[in-house]
Amino acid sequence: MQNFFRAMFQLVLVVLLTAATVGAFWFGLVPQRFSPFAPVSLERPSQWFLDPKLAALRNDPTLCQSVLKAPHIDAVSVPDNPIKKGCGWTNSVKFGNAGGARLGVEPVTCELAAALTLWIEHEVQPVAIAAFGKRVAAIEDMGTYDCRNIIGSSMWKDVKSQHARANALDLAGFTLEDGRKISILRDWPGKGPESKFLRDIKSRSCGYFRVSLGPDFNAPHKNHFHFDRGPMWTCR
């Protein structure tokens, strides 16, 4: 019996240590110098262990500055707004171009900016070229920072949105090089190439953002994609 309890104790200890290790990487608590993973690169279209690599940017301004560089993104650091009552931001940037498309937002966390750049450059642009023979020149956003709770779900009505920490971004549409506009509200329900384009890039977003929501999720998202790098994980 004593051996049984000793074995159970060891098992519980291993489980707890494993959970703590995973949590440390999940919340970006492991400094890059202690990480077994190479830093995230905006040049590489596919990378092993991308999620913990992105999470490592969360609390590391120096690493952020070394990763968010031209020609991939024209990011500039913005002063911290220390989080109070669930609202504010740290280690965030502003930019006017990302992944070859005009998109001016601020503030947005370094982690989210990196994920967005990778998605635009290595997923959105290739899909646009294949579908229309044109690159995406501009992306219409609906904002990032907003000190508010999650909307659209009674379950989470008293929980702060990732927008409250500048760690979420809503996108409404895309403009191609020839001026052609693709609207999520108008084109998502259709069956033409615009709808296929939107659905394709939406599905590809799941590898970069922990939460990726679109018109099929619920009515409040009928006109935009919601992306964030918060603690939850869902792609709908």
pLDDT higher at 32 or 26: 32
Instruction: Tell me how far apart the alpha carbons of residues 48 and 46 are, in angstroms, rounded to a whole number.
Output: 7
**Residue 107 CA: distances (Å) to CA of 12, 88, 128, 160:** 42, 10, 27, 17
> What is the band of 217 on the pLDDT scale with cuts at 50, 70, 90?
very high
Alpha-carbon Rg for the chain, nearest whole angstrom, is 19
- At 227, give phi and psi (nearest 5°): -120, 140
**Residue 228 CA: distances (Å) to CA of 149, 161, 170:** 14, 10, 9
pLDDT for res 150: 87
pLDDT higher at 9 or 59: 59
pLDDT tens-place string over residues 115-145: 999 999 999 999 999 999 999 999 999 999 9
The domains of the chain are located at 31-235
- At 149, give phi and psi (nearest 5°): -85, 170
Instruction: Tell me how far apart the alpha carbons of residues 227 and 118 are, in angstroms, rounded to a whole number.
Output: 13
Instruction: Tell me how far apart the alpha carbons of residues 189 and 96 are, in angstroms, rounded to a whole number.
Output: 30
H or E element at residue 53: helix 50-55
Q: Is pLDDT at 111 greater than 90 in this prediction?
A: yes
**Neighbour count for residue 97 (Cβ, 10 Å):** 18
Of the candidates 72, 35, 33, 64, which has an alpha carbon nearest to the alpha carbon of residue 52? 35
Instruction: Tell me how far apart the alpha carbons of residues 148 and 54 are, in angstroms, rounded to a whole number.
Output: 25
List for the chain the helix, strand, coil content (%; round to 5): 40, 25, 35
pLDDT for res 225: 98
Q: What is the percent of the chain where pLDDT is above 90?
A: 77
Q: Is pLDDT at 101 greater than 80 in this prediction?
A: yes
Q: Tally the C-alpha atoms within 13 A of residue 135's C-alpha that lie toward its C-beta.
A: 11
Q: Is pLDDT at 218 greater than 70 in this prediction?
A: yes
pLDDT for res 48: 93
pLDDT for res 3: 67
Q: Is pLDDT at 9 greater than 60 in this prediction?
A: no
**Neighbour count for residue 105 (Cβ, 10 Å):** 23
pLDDT tens-place string over residues 33-80: 778 888 999 998 889 999 999 999 999 999 999 999 999 999 999 999
Q: Is pLDDT at 18 greater than 80 in this prediction?
A: no
Q: Is pLDDT at 20 greater than 50 in this prediction?
A: no
Q: What is the percent of the chain where pLDDT is above 70?
A: 86
pLDDT tens-place string over residues 138-190: 999 999 999 999 886 666 678 999 999 999 999 999 999 999 999 999 999 99
pTM of the model: 0.91
